[in-house]
Structure 1
Amino acid sequence: MARENYEEQLDRLTGLLATMSREAGAAIRGASVALFDVDRAAAEAVVAGDAVLDRYRAEAEARIPEVLVRHQPVASDLRLVVCALRIAASLERMGDLAVHIAKVVLMRYPVGVVPASAVPVLTAMADAAARMAEKAAVVLATRDHLDAAQLALDDDEVDAAEKRLLSLLVSGWPYGVESAIDLALVGRYYERYADHAVNVARQVVFLVTGTIRL
């Protein structure tokens, strides 16, 4: 019976991480809709929804000490518990970064943040970030380290797009310093979101193999 309870606790913990990954993906997609469509309601929904991810992280952190103290897991189960703490932190941070993008939209509303000349590069970043969120959710479910490795390639795409954005902003940007700062921040938020998605994948690799790669 104690073992069954232990397995149930681990299942609840992994299920909680899966739910967090879906929420983090929904947050970045909502933030991107707000950014490109100048959609105040979408931005406000992202900001309001952040409390859900915060609550899930707090729940995960509350469960982990109980598992450690009551069941003293070893080997792969111990790695799961340790990785869960790190993964929950990254997923919660991904939600925070989506909120930062939404708050830039709200701060400038009803004026749009992204001029036409910056739409292609920021769209590339937004699409890559959303794709990485989806892959992170899949990796959490399948624990496939080959799928996890793909996130590093997507992260390279985001990094390259951020460099293009910064080059655009310093090459005679015609929309003023305030606009340049806004876009530099938005680009940075997408880049950091992608980094945390990679960290989720890295923790899954560690969980499966006992070593950290990517």
Structure 2
Amino acid sequence: MRRAGGGVRVSRDTYGEQLDRLTGLLAVMSRDAAAAIRGASSALLQVDRDAAEAVLCGDALLDARRAEVEEMIPLLLARHQPVASDLRLVLCAMRIAGDLERMGDLAVHIAKIALMRHPVAVVPPLASAVLTTLAAAAARIADKAAVVLATRDSLDAMQLGLDDDEVDAAHASLLSLLVSAWPYGIEPAIDLALVGRYYERFADHAVNVARQVVYLVTGDIRL
């Protein structure tokens, strides 16, 4: 009986370790996504080719980690019988991993525009201030999403909607600039319209991550 009891404990420890591995992968992915948007912004605003190339290289790791998350989930469901909270974690993990991977992809899109135009700057002086604001807001929301994933604080998670409003406002300012007496021609305007859209979508996915954290903690989505 003692041996059997010990065996059960080892089995549960293994399950706990697998859940820890799952949450650890999501934490790493969130930090990678935040680093990716910072690198893409450096490539864009500082005409930094090395930063752009680093974003492209790092995206392969994000993709691999999402694949690992997706491989773990069926095994966890098949080999164990998760309680309600653990089941929410397993189900949310797949959605969160998808959002984090997409955040990395959007950072890659920004970096590719910077690479395509290098050594010419994508951002002309007239648009520098608004793009700097947009990039900083996107980086902040990525950092907060990473913190929320680590702490599982549902109140902090719900605050990300306010940070997303900041990104939306900066994006709206950029679009207004592009349609009002824009002096640089159509091609630069298209580049910046795409960049603005990528930042906006990046922030939307960060909010989705926070929404999943709220669901994980409370069983409800209020974000």
TM superposition score category, shorter chain reference: over 0.9
Whole-angstrom CA distance in 2 between matches of 1:158 and 1:22: 19
Quote the offset at 1:149 in angstroms. Answer: 1.4
Larger Rg: 2
State which of 88, 108, 125 in structure 1 corresponds to 2:117. Answer: 108
| Cα deviation 1:35-78 (Å, max 9, x = unaligned) | 11101111011011100000000000000000000002131100
Whole-angstrom CA distance in 2 between matches of 1:103 and 1:70: 42
Quote the offset at 1:204 in angstroms. Answer: 0.1
Whole-angstrom CA distance in 1 between matches of 2:119 and 2:147: 36
Are residues 1:164 and 2:173 paired? yes
| Cα deviation 1:115-148 (Å, max 9, x = unaligned) | 1111111111110111111111110111001111
Whole-angstrom CA distance in 2 between matches of 1:109 and 1:141: 37
TM-score, L = length of structure 1: 0.99
Of all paired residues, the percent bearing the same amino acid is: 76
Total equivalences in the alignment: 214
Are residues 1:173 and 2:182 paired? yes
Whole-angstrom CA distance in 1 between matches of 2:113 and 2:24: 32
- The equivalent of 1:196 in structure 2 is 205
Letter in structure 2 aligned against 1:99? V
Alignment of 1:55-66 (within 5 A): 55-66=64-75
Are residues 1:207 and 2:201 paired? no
Whole-angstrom CA distance in 2 between matches of 1:125 and 1:58: 30
Letter in structure 2 aligned against 1:7? G
Tell me the SS of whatever aligns to 1:21. Answer: helix
Whole-angstrom CA distance in 1 between matches of 2:83 and 2:190: 48
Q: Runs (4+) of structure 1 moved beyond 6 Å?
A: none
